[in-house]
Structure 1
């Protein structure tokens, strides 16, 4: 770690712009750390924003102390992306603690960042920089200004890209990465993924968007062709029946309705997808099934029963993914355009299966439920 300590002490100065530490080695503890410079009473500090669970904690430290704190956090992380006015750095830490630093010089230094304590939030896709697909989708003007009525969509896209940013250490950089987006709809987030991973991060990626709406698929393909996104394609089709690929690195399923999410998750497990990002929607299945004598007074209220059934659906899904060898988190997203659901299931393949089958069965028996995902995964196991 000494080469990283030297880099931090050299670069954490007035020209430092930002850093993001991601790729936690364990599912408990710190999920991500963001670092930015901060000027207080003419003294340079560095603010560390530390994300644990659904909470964020802040520390303001002087340069030397900040460098040591970042170094300490890098003992827990796999990757850091650091930007200064003159260069960008990618820091990778192997399982054995070997540190690899990749440096890319800028053609010309960028403007000095604002160091105001209350400065405007920094987004993955910045305001003021026109992004073609955001312009065509009505989120930005030609000058890069976010349309006021679409600011929630802009925030949602950036929040989603933060989740993608966190899993970058899981995606290979030495070959083509295949991503499948089930139920892509108008594809705001599909285009955002392609733009971020290919245009900004330089990944060789192929993204396939799948949806049942013929006119939406046609429009998305027209936009993809217009932008020259040669490996972004949209197909009309059903999640349950799709067999167009043999291997997938990452599966995304956003607001796939009811059990369509289960079919997408089962497909992902069958492909041994390294990463799964899923925002479920309209979980009706367990709401029709759920029964429990102790909870009967609570279930008399339809709204309460519906919400509890939705939460239980996603928790059971997460447990099944853990059983299949995924490190799984349930995270808070931003409300989707057509649904108040704001949960995102993020799963990363580790190969370490959780011994939780008995616990899952006890829960299902107590609630008299038979989730589709469990049946689909059991069928997969039977076919192995």
Structure 2
């Protein structure tokens, strides 16, 4: 079998209903920042797609391609990687590619045949089932009393479930021998705050104490009423600003959702100084760098206001993630919800590891910051920690 035949076989077998999942790995170059790609079959709007999950060191990206687009995607990836593991319903396959793209194929029959169920796979991604009534979702107007998601609230239900996935992924980083302290800055209407409390306390039975903080008094009062009516005794809501909240010396998880501009940086800095084990942040309205960026090398982009605005937002979040990594966190930028629903779809997820950054990592950050000629607010807030 040559390389072209391999592409034909894979394209056919990945779309014939027997494909379970696979992994593409072993980059051909040491400089390739894409570490591996996970592949699986999914159903989108009743049509088969193949989903590629691109795993970088600190970023995960997803792309769903149609069967017609599949061959070209496989070709591009297999020209960059040397190994492929694939599982079908009745067989496991390992493919190794040499430098000259000679194909080495190994096959192993599966004794207990698996079944592909795309609809089941899609549903199990929802940690909160879309047909089960949840008191907090009913009270917040997302579900009807019998558990049906309201037509105009499907996007909100998906967003809540996506957030719960991030919470679930964070469980291993939270303490297990004491009360888990959680702060939510800028909680707003608190869909996600209630979801967090429900999942950790009701579904997982964890000992938690959650505080939601927001400036809107009327919203906080409504949230207090809902929490009381639901019997959420360890969920409190307070009126206040991030700058004014000085009640804690140690926090386990900090959540900040759509805190505008440098308010996000204030929350991130607070989280770091409290030694938070988990940080989940969805930034909003990144204006700080927009007015600062001066980089002639990027003028072809930055001469356009729209592009400059988007680039400033991406640069801001990249800088935030990098600064967190320099002060002992494993930081990733992840997709929160689809771009078609909102442009505010980047989530910063950071787990505290205590790892000390190398001199080369500090140098890399400084070079990027100097390229843009900016003075990030978060860097100033973390100055003492960065100099250690």
For the criterion TM > 0.5, the same-fold answer is yes
- Identify which of 360, 364, 374 aligns with 2:365: 360
- 2:86 touches 2:92 (CA, 8 Å); kept in 1? no
- Identify which of 252, 270, 273 aligns with 1:270: 273
Query: What is the distance in 2 between the residues matched to 1:338 and 1:62?
Result: 35
Partner of 2:184: 181
* Pair 1:215 & 2:222 matched: no
Partner of 1:315: 318
Measured after TM superposition, the shift of residue 137 of structure 1 is 1.0
Partner of 1:121: 123
Classify 1:28/1:273 alpha carbon distance in 2 versus 1 (closer, same or farther; 3 Å): farther
* Pair 1:239 & 2:242 matched: yes
Classify 1:256/1:121 alpha carbon distance in 2 versus 1 (closer, same or farther; 3 Å): same
Structure 2: gaps spanning 5 or more residues: 1-32, 41-50, 65-84, 94-114
Measured after TM superposition, the shift of residue 341 of structure 1 is 1.3
Measured after TM superposition, the shift of residue 290 of structure 1 is 0.5
**1:291-306 pair list within 5 angstroms:** 291-306=294-309
Query: What is the distance in 2 between the residues matched to 1:127 and 1:178?
Result: 29
2:282 counterpart SS class: strand
Query: What is the distance in 1 between the residues matched to 2:136 and 2:261?
Result: 29
Query: How many residue pairs get matched?
Result: 299
- Identify which of 371, 378, 386 aligns with 1:373: 378
2:279 counterpart SS class: strand
2:296 counterpart SS class: coil
Measured after TM superposition, the shift of residue 128 of structure 1 is 1.7
Partner of 2:151: 148
Residues 82-109 of structure 1, C-alpha deviations (whole Å, 9 max, x = no match): xxxxxxxxxxxxxxxxxxxxxxxxxxxx
Taking structure 2 as the reference length, the TM-score comes to 0.70
Measured after TM superposition, the shift of residue 173 of structure 1 is 2.2
- 1:254 touches 1:278 (CA, 8 Å); kept in 2? yes
Classify 1:337/1:144 alpha carbon distance in 2 versus 1 (closer, same or farther; 3 Å): farther
Partner of 1:258: 261
Partner of 1:161: 164
Query: What is the distance in 2 between the residues matched to 1:347 and 1:275?
Result: 6
- 1:321 touches 1:347 (CA, 8 Å); kept in 2? yes
1:208 counterpart SS class: strand
Classify 1:59/1:215 alpha carbon distance in 2 versus 1 (closer, same or farther; 3 Å): farther
Query: What is the distance in 2 between the residues matched to 1:337 and 1:236?
Result: 32
* Pair 1:138 & 2:145 matched: no
Residues 273-294 of structure 1, C-alpha deviations (whole Å, 9 max, x = no match): 0010111010000001011112
Measured after TM superposition, the shift of residue 349 of structure 1 is 0.5
Taking structure 1 as the reference length, the TM-score comes to 0.71
- Identify which of 205, 209, 214 aligns with 1:206: 209
1:295 counterpart SS class: helix
Measured after TM superposition, the shift of residue 65 of structure 1 is 7.2
2:244 counterpart SS class: coil
1:285 counterpart SS class: coil
Greater C-alpha radius of gyration: 2
Partner of 1:289: 292
**1:88-107 pair list within 5 angstroms:** none
1:221 counterpart SS class: helix
Classify 1:28/1:271 alpha carbon distance in 2 versus 1 (closer, same or farther; 3 Å): farther
- 2:52 touches 2:62 (CA, 8 Å); kept in 1? no
Partner of 1:230: 233
Classify 1:31/1:211 alpha carbon distance in 2 versus 1 (closer, same or farther; 3 Å): farther
Measured after TM superposition, the shift of residue 118 of structure 1 is 3.5
